[in-house]
Amino acid sequence: MLLLLALCLGLPLCAGSLEEAQSWGDTSEQVGLRVPRQLRLLQRLKTKPLMTEFSVKSTIISRYAFTAVSCRMLNRGSEDQEIEFLMQIPAAAFITNFTTLIGDKVYQGEITEKEKKNGDKVKEKRNKTTEDNGEKGTETFRASVLIPSKDKAAFFLSYEELLQRRLGKYEHVISVRPQQLVGRLTVEVNILESSGITLLEVLPLRNSRQKAGGRAEDDTGPPPSTVINQNETFAKVIFKPSVVQQARIAQNGILGDFIIRYDVNREQSIGDIQVLNGYFVHYFAPKDLPPLPKNVVFVLDSSASMVGTKLRQTKDALFTILHDLRPQDHFNIIGFSNRIKVWKDHLVSVTPNNIRDGKVYIHHMSPTGGTDINGALQRGIRLLNNYVAHNDIEDRSVSLIIFLTDGKPTVGETHTLKILNNTKEAARGQICIFTIGIGNDVDFKLLEKLSLENCGLTRRVHEEEDAGSQLIGFYDEIRTPLLSDIHIDYPPSLVEQATRTLFPNYFNGSEIIIAGKLVDKKMDRLHVEVTASNSKKFVILKTDVPLGPQKVGNDVTGSAKPKGDGEEDPNHLERLWSYLTVKELLNSWLQSDDEQEKEQLRQKAQTLAVSSRFLTPFTSMKLKESSLQMRKLEDSQGLSAATGPGTVMQSLQGSSAQPGSAVKKPYNPRIKVSKTSADGDPHFVVDFPLSKLTVCFNIDGQPGDILRLVSDHAGSGVTVNGALIGAPAPPNGHKKQRTYFRVITILVNKPERSYLEITPHRVILDGGDRLVLPCNQSMVVGSRGLEVSVSANANVTVTIQGTIAFVILIHLYKKPAPYQRDHLGFYISNSKGLSGNCHGLLGQFLNQDASLTEESARLSMNTTSPPSPKATERSQTVLQVKGHQVPVVWKQRKIYNGEEQIDCWFARNAAQLLDGEYKDYLAAHPFDSDTVFGE
């Protein structure tokens, strides 16, 4: 369905929903890569807004999925532009919040009760999208904002859903359709199932149905770059394609659906009951039961609109389904247009002859006339009622109608409400109706309500999809009924506000889910009774289910809302209970014909949806400008949707949690540059934070020399070298020539080897896929623990494994003087990941401490202030570091593009400060990782 939300707020926003709002920095992008030339040309010519990041993080705990979407965009144009954020979400999901950042302003979504006159609130309109999600429907979330020229926007969307078990598997679908190539694209799914994961598979990307959709490279396994880590109860799946890999899948950035399927271990016949903080959930999915006989009538639309492919595919699917019927089943076939054509006047048994005759009847169906939906349903129900009445098998079989149409009622009874009432009255709750709508002209709301009111399910198939395979897949879900008339009871004195406990049928491969509240949080056993019918007898299961220790407290969170005063964070089972309860209230409201009852149901659903922050037909969303700064935004919503389950997972896993299993806070790309650097002629600066000392020195190298700046090949696997370029000295200067860094090269050897070459005009990243990034465009790329962020004509930030970060400043001159050259400055931003044996002109000082002394011990020195003139006349200041004693003087030096001035102790004789000699710091080639100093 199309979830189209329009905001009247000054922001032309159509949308509604949030997740975690992460702090964000200068990350933008556009890549020039060695892939098809037309792709590079296309990217140069386009001025549409640039998506710099698209990330999705899902955390699934006990089948309940919290999904957070983050998207960052940049307006590269010279004029203000409207930017639209699109995200397909499952139709069964509830949006829980939406936040957008425009420049430095934060707009947060707030779920409120929907009023008759919405004013500035979000208006919700649900229609099916033209791009369905295969078997399940999708809704498209749209948000559009006006972004000033050269400014940025970020969108944070979150939604929640309870995964349904179909054909023995849970399926989690994430839409990956950024509409363009993205420098940093990540999908991460964490699954925690305390009963144990028995099956896990990542499917190939399910491609977009649009014409522009591409095909994946490999359609037999997970998408390229997918990494899967799994133990008995936990699984982490990460999909992080590089720009080149994205382009190979689809050059327009429409990659498709990322799909994970899994199942869990089931040991007890009574099912799995989980308890947390006074809430429980009961998963009931029995197996190894004999199937119930089916009494099934296939009701097929043969009106004129079914002509061509639709009817042909439907016929082929019915041929397959007829062969799948069991010997104990009974069936019949109805074709309808403006006339109702019944194959037999009664249901027949499954025999080779009957199957053959049924196929012949279907084969001779021809499309003609209008669409009499009411007449066809009444005839099918009458056939089933007559068969059951005359054969006395009501308690030992399941009666089904599989109804397929592509249109609206045009013949006979055409009033929707009367069709619904007639069908409900005739079926009397004894016949389940499963409906399939084909194409865009079908009255899907009618089919949906027909199934909802008559214990069935509904599916929609679009024009361009294979109706036959969809029909077969739908039938497979209901082909094997195992139980009917299921009642699940709990002691009313111990359980309150339980969700639905009566179910007409249970089909093999599905699951029944009940959630509720426990009156006594400290109870250790729960009595459960299950009564049902199967093919042989009336089944009764009674047992006292032991309840594991309940976690009581507010350190377990799954809520998308911030805590109130004295309020505990809801847990994931409370979210699941709220989700199921709201869904059931909405269905009851839809089925009710009593206005007073409908109003009561509406109020209950609305109250619970607001408190749970669910966007529903009875709630709306409005965006408010928040006074929170971007850095504080994450703290205010920090334990919401995606990060909340991380806490849950840590709590549930306890001491047995595997390293890296918990959901981690994303790396913050906004980096504070330190003073430790090599810039300019080149001037070296070393910061000793423990001593509050800053030391500077110069290196007078020769053009063509390659200097070893950081050498930690044997430790962290990181090597940084800088190649010098020469220039004439300024007039009247004391130097004969100047030297600058023309190229900075970085070699990363762990976990896999990557080469990075940076010049003032381009960045070359070679680590399997070779990327060439222009420095005049902002972009972010990442691969195998190495992230490169280019801020146009300003700097390049290189982050390695999140623990090492270098910033390379770009110095450009529009009209350079003879002694000026475009060059680079090298700054160490984060050195935590470098080893204690790190060396190089800068690296040797990173894990050291320093102190100042005077030749005359009678005077004490203030290390953070310049000495008085009197003191410097009478004594000499000496720097002690690494066993070296070096005379130093107080000096001021400019760094960071000359925009900041620092005070430092200057060592006139750098040779006394450094280990070894100058030649020991000369590399043989740009990626030379050898060193004469022991590591």
* 101-112 mean pLDDT: 87
pLDDT digit string, tens, across residues 434-466: 999 888 788 888 998 999 889 888 888 876 667
Check residue 660 and give its pLDDT.
Answer: 35
Highest mean pLDDT among 41-45, 458-462, 638-642, 732-736: 458-462
CA dist 528 and 609 (Å) reads 29
* 84-95 mean pLDDT: 90
Using the predicted structure, report yes or no on whether residue 19 has a pLDDT greater than 50.
no
pLDDT digit string, tens, across residues 177-188: 988 888 899 999
Task: Choose the weakest-confidence range: 122-131, 214-223, 455-464.
Answer: 122-131
pLDDT digit string, tens, across residues 358-410: 999 999 999 998 999 999 999 999 999 999 888 766 557 899 999 999 888 99
- How far CA 500 is from CA of 223, 513, 533, 581, in Å, comes to 39, 9, 18, 8
- CA torsion sign for 322, 325, 328, 332 is negative
Query: Which has the higher per-residue pLDDT, 665 or 411?
Result: 411
Check residue 570 and give its pLDDT.
Answer: 52
| pLDDT band with cut points at 50, 70 and 90 for residue 7 | very low
Query: Which has the higher per-residue pLDDT, 905 or 554?
Result: 905
Task: Choose the weakest-confidence range: 112-121, 139-148, 252-261, 664-673.
Answer: 664-673
158: which 2 tokens? 């979150």
Using the predicted structure, report yes or no on whether residue 566 has a pLDDT greater than 60.
no
Using the predicted structure, report yes or no on whether residue 920 has a pLDDT greater than 70.
yes
Using the predicted structure, report yes or no on whether residue 582 has a pLDDT greater than 90.
yes
Check residue 536 and give its pLDDT.
Answer: 64
891: which 2 tokens? 């000096």
| pLDDT band with cut points at 50, 70 and 90 for residue 68 | very high
- Spell out the residues 6+ positions from residue 768 whose beta carbon is closer than 8 angstroms to its own: 752, 783, 784
Using the predicted structure, report yes or no on whether residue 330 has a pLDDT greater than 60.
yes
Residue 400: count of CB within 10 angstroms of its CB: 26
- Across the chain, mean pLDDT equals 79
Q: Parallel, antiparallel, or unpaired: how do β-strands 279-284 and 512-518 relate?
A: antiparallel
Q: In whole angstroms, what separates CA 652 from the centre of its chain?
A: 22
Q: Percentage of the chain surpassing pLDDT 90?
A: 35
Task: Choose the weakest-confidence range: 600-609, 667-676, 836-845.
Answer: 667-676
Using the predicted structure, report yes or no on whether residue 261 has a pLDDT greater than 90.
yes
To the nearest 10 degrees (0 to 180), the angle between helices 416-427 and 373-391 is 0
The CA dihedral of 32, 34, 40, 43, to the nearest 10 degrees, is: -40
Farthest-apart Cα atoms in the chain, separation: 120
Using the predicted structure, report yes or no on whether residue 909 has a pLDDT greater than 50.
yes
Check residue 768 and give its pLDDT.
Answer: 67
* 728-743 mean pLDDT: 82
- Spell out the residues 6+ positions from residue 142 whose beta carbon is closer than 8 angstroms to its own: 3, 4, 5, 14, 15, 84, 85, 86
Using the predicted structure, report yes or no on whether residue 295 has a pLDDT greater than 60.
yes
Highest mean pLDDT among 124-133, 334-343, 776-785: 334-343
| pLDDT band with cut points at 50, 70 and 90 for residue 825 | very high
Check residue 214 and give its pLDDT.
Answer: 35
| pLDDT band with cut points at 50, 70 and 90 for residue 609 | very high
What proportions of the chain, in percent to the nearest 5, are helix, strand and coil?
Answer: 20, 40, 40
